[in-house]
A and B are shown apart, each in its own frame.
Chain A
């Protein structure tokens, strides 16, 4: 029994090696930043970190599913900007202050995000256009739409409901948006690890043709994943607009790069149509790691150039190890 238990422990460790590795890295950089800045190990830093990951982390969930299924979405950043603008425009146009109407606007915005993702999915699966090209083209279209809606200008968002979403906390400390993020990660983890759907996603990513032969409707799964990814990006846009009390077409611009980097660092593979690796936990830890690096470097007063160089090196290493796997 002892041997079985030990083998099980080793298996769990092996399966989560990426997460363990990132967690180790997280501790190492935290120690370095704590030595470098008296402010790092503080509730203030923790709060900033929680706020930072609560929007980009949501986009990371969708990207994780897509990468596991062997694809990715470059248009997520533009969907973030588009949804923020769409939401703010509707709120201002109809002068909405009522909670229920606000919820209705949120649903409409999420639906708009879902439609964009659905079109992405259709194009990738039905016309067989590469996901990179499809989503880059979609990025351009969506940014154009956002610019049209906003007249290329930032829009203020001063509705009380959204102010509460953006700055509201539980116990005066934990942002609402973080609670939603953690809930979404939990659901994603369970979906991927404990459901048939999760196994299908891994199967499609590992070998799409084999998955099809095994009766898995790979196309439908991919369309669903693209739709979900864009919907999540739209949700991130809503959170971002609530946090900044404004909306702008350029919101979310760096998200595609950062989220893909986080997913790869968290264990996903980026090999053009081949996935089958990674998980929600790894991606969550990786996005926390990247945000810790970003915020920690500011606290230890490193110039922007160093921050850029380090981010680039981390990205390269992540891709290198991804390829090695």
Chain B
């Protein structure tokens, strides 16, 4: 059984991007630390600010609400029903189950956009070379024109990590996908990026050692450099003469 990288107790999750396994306690610690780091790095929140989390009833917004509370911020949630039939009714139920009703007066609005969301948006904007969208994609949008500051404290966490946070904390969330999301380009970009990550990991897992120099290689025996040296050394050296170009005339 795989062990937690930190305490060597039985692990509950493997996180390939950290090349490590974690137990529940150290997964929580990792998530808290990543959110804290994002808040500090991008100066998202300041002490004593009131934070309003935009809640959908899904894993990211509920995890965000929960982790901000754990970090000691004063946080409330707001749910906006989109009227998508039974799906919205269910989502509102999940949000209410977690909510404590309070009044307004907030300095900042926090959304549950995570690392996968940001990567997918960046990927899509790059594919379309949408310079305006690329310039707008920030972790903090400053206040202005009557709108409060908007921040994305989960930008350092993947959605697998936010989902794991919810499971570990017993947070019941809307697992089923929105019925209007079918064929959504954003989801397709996320799926593509995950396939790329899995392919890259498969390549890394398949690496062997070059029998001559010991470097990592995908080849059966020799690495690309040693193969080139072998091919080149089988031929007579070709004399090479350095030619100096004539000075350009004025």
Indicate whether A and B interact: no
Interface residues of A (CB under 8 A from B): none
Hey, which bits of chain B sit against chain A, CB under 8 A? none
